[in-house]
Structure formats: C-alpha cells, structure tokens
C-alpha cells in the first residue's frame, strides 16, 4: 500500500533512532550555521563593513561548503534506505558523498540561482513599475511553483548517481506524479528547519546557496523556543536542529526511493 505523508515522517524518526550516525550530518550543518550566526552578530556589533565583492565571495564560499555537506548527508541517508546495501552506514560515507557529488550539487545550485535571477528578477521589476500588486503576486507564486517542481533534483542526483540536467528533468517528472505529498513534505521541512519551503535540506537557502543572513532565518518553531527560554533556547534549538535537519532530508530520500522502487523510473 502507498505510504502517506505522516508515514514517511514517522518512519524517518524510527530509522534515525536505529541509525544515529546520521546525526553527524546534522551536527556539521548546525556548526556551519553557528559560524554564519557569529558572522551576523559580529557585523551587528560594529565590525568592518564588507564591500559587495566580499559579500559575494563569502556567499559563494559558504554555498560551496553547504553543497558538499548536503551531498554527504544525502549519500549517507541513501545508504540507509537502500535494500541492497549490506554494509552499515558510517561517517566515512558522508565524506564519500561529499567527494562524488559536492561539486555537482554546487554547480546545479548556481545554475538554478542564475536562471531564477535572470528570469524572475527582471519580470518582477517590470511588474513593480506597472504598480499591479496582483501581477507581482502571480509572478512570485510562479517562481515558487517552478522551484517546487525541481525541489528533489539534488536528492535524485545523489540517489541515482546521474548528471545535473537529468536530475532536474527527473525531479519535474516525479513531482508531477506526486505533487501534493511533495508540497506537504516541503511545508513540514520548512516548519522543522529554517522556514524555507523550497529547500528540503533545511539549513541552506533556495538552490542550496548560503548567506550569513540565512543563519537568522529560523522557523516559527525555534523562534517560539527562543522567546520562551531566552539564551538557553538557542542551545535547545541547536540540539533539536541537529535531529530535525536530518529528518528533513530523510523524508525526501524515503519518498523518492520508495515510489521509484514501487512504480519504476520517473525519467
């Protein structure tokens, strides 16, 4: 019988409990987020103002690091769900995934960012000059819809070990056949990670780019915890995020591998 939204979520928690080594990936992402947060706080405290070139360079470097981290996390997760995998998942699998897929994910991410900027930024600028709020809203929703259709490209790239172009195409085909559950899992991922509906990996932004500003982009769940518990709320949030950032990736890997194995290739 086809699994539903809550089954994928519940199964991910059970599988993580039996494969706690996956938490290594969550720890690495939270450490990266901590570094970004310190940069934000340092800037707010009156540090030297960086020029536009320095900001772009910083975003590119952190995007590269985050892409490699995401590659390692997906590769580890894929091994857990692979029925043909005989060896238990290890920390070494994280670095193996980084080695084989990190540059591919970074390249695909940059392609997605550039395409989005080239198409939608001029479009929204033109619409803004017309003064039509309705058309601007339509354009924003169109961007969201496009990004949702390619939301599994990085997962598919690593799981199936294919090229970037094929991963985008397969993601579109898969989401067309499973739109509502993909949308539901994106919403779930946004609630338990950084509030980014377009990014299953949670800690990094659309297309996997990382900006230091993203470190402050916590979902309402963590904002609520911090508001209640104060400074100790940050510690509680980081511990939760180590677990939930992994869960946010696991549900998509499980969804794709489960439905691919049931119904065949979505190419």
**pLDDT tens string 7-22:** 999 999 999 999 999 9
Q: Identify which of 152, 187, 173 has the alpha carbon closest to the alpha carbon of residue 6.
A: 187
Residue 55 above 90 pLDDT?
no
Mean of all residue pLDDT scores within the chain: 82
Region 136-154: mean pLDDT is 86
Q: In which band, very low, low, confident or very high, does the pLDDT at 40 lie, cut at 50, 70 and 90?
A: low
Q: Name residues whose C-beta falls within 8 Å of residue 235's C-beta, 6 or more positions apart in sequence.
A: none
pLDDT in tens, 81-103: 998 888 899 999 999 999 999 99
Q: Name residues whose C-beta falls within 8 Å of residue 20's C-beta, 6 or more positions apart in sequence.
A: none
pLDDT in tens, 65-79: 889 999 999 999 999
Q: Name residues whose C-beta falls within 8 Å of residue 194's C-beta, 6 or more positions apart in sequence.
A: 202, 203, 214, 217, 218, 219
Q: Identify which of 240, 219, 227, 171 has the alpha carbon closest to the alpha carbon of residue 29.
A: 240
pTM: 0.84
Q: In which band, very low, low, confident or very high, does the pLDDT at 267 lie, cut at 50, 70 and 90?
A: low
Q: Are 79 and 85 in contact (CB under 8 A)?
A: yes
């Amino acid at each position: 019988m086809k699994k539903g939204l809550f089954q994928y979520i519940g199964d991910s928690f059970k599988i993580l409990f039996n494969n706690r080594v996956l938490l290594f990936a969550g720890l690495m992402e939270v450490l990266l987020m901590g570094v970004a947060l310190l940069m934000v706080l340092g800037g707010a405290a009156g540090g030297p103002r960086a020029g536009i070139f320095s900001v772009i360079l910083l975003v590119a470097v952190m995007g590269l690091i985050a892409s490699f981290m995401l590659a390692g996390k997906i590769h580890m997760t894929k091994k857990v769900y692979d029925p043909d995998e005989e060896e238990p998942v290890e920390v070494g699998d994280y670095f193996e995934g980084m080695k084989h897929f990190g540059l591919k994910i970074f390249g695909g991410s940059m392609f997605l960012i550039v395409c989005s900027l080239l198409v939608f930024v001029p479009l929204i600028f033109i619409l803004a000059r017309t003064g039509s709020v309705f058309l601007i809203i339509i354009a924003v929703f169109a961007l969201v819809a496009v990004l949702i259709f390619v939301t599994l490209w990085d997962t598919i790239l690593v799981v199936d070990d294919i090229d970037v172009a094929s991963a985008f195409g397969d993601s579109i085909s898969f989401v067309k056949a499973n739109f509502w559950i993909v949308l539901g899992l994106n919403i779930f991922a946004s609630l338990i990670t950084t509030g980014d509906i377009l990014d299953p990996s949670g800690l990094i932004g659309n297309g996997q780019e990382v900006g230091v500003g993203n470190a402050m982009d916590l979902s309402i769940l963590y904002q609520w915890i911090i508001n209640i518990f104060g400074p100790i709320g940050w510690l509680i949030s980081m511990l939760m995020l180590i677990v939930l950032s992994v869960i946010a990736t696991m549900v998509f890997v499980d969804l794709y591998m489960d439905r691919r194995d049931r119904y065949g290739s979505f190419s």
